[in-house]
C-alpha cells in the first residue's frame, strides 16, 4: 500500500483568525471592545489590532514550516575534541 502525500490544511479565513484573537485576548482578561472599531486618529483601534494579530499568526505558520537541511551543521567555536586538548592543566 503506497503512502499518499498529505494535502496541506486550508488556511484560516480572516474571520476565523479574528475569532481566535478575540478569544485569546478574553482569556488574558483584555477587553478590546473599549477600542474604537476603526479610527485613524486613535493610537490603536480594533481593526488594526486584529490585522496585526492575523499578520503575526500567519508569519508564525510560515516560520514553523521552514525545512531544515538535514546536512546542515551549526558552526562550533571549539569542537568537542579540541576542547579536551585546550583545557588548562590543573597542576
Say what the pLDDT of residue 66 is. Answer: 76
Q: What are 76's three cell numbers?
A: 562550533
Question: Tens of pLDDT along 3-12?
Answer: 677 787 788 9
More confident of the two residues 90 and 47: 47
Is pLDDT at 89 greater than 70 in this prediction? no
Question: Tens of pLDDT along 27-82?
Answer: 999 999 999 999 989 999 999 999 999 999 998 887 777 787 777 777 766 656 65
Q: How many CA atoms lie within 13 A of 75 on its CB side?
A: 1
**Residue showing cell 479565513:** 13
DSSP state of 46: H
DSSP state of 38: S
**Residue showing cell 538535514:** 70
Amino acid at each position: 500500500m503506497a503512502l499518499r502525500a498529505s494535502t496541506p490544511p486550508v488556511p484560516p479565513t480572516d474571520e476565523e483568525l479574528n475569532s481566535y484573537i478575540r478569544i485569546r485576548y478574553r482569556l488574558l482578561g483584555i477587553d478590546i471592545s473599549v477600542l474604537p472599531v476603526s479610527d485613524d486618529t486613535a493610537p490603536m483601534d480594533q481593526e488594526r489590532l486584529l490585522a496585526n494579530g492575523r499578520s503575526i499568526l500567519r508569519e508564525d505558520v510560515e516560520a514553523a514550516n521552514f525545512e531544515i537541511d538535514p546536512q546542515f551543521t551549526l558552526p562550533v567555536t571549539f569542537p568537542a575534541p579540541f576542547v579536551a586538548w585546550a583545557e588548562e592543566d590543573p597542576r
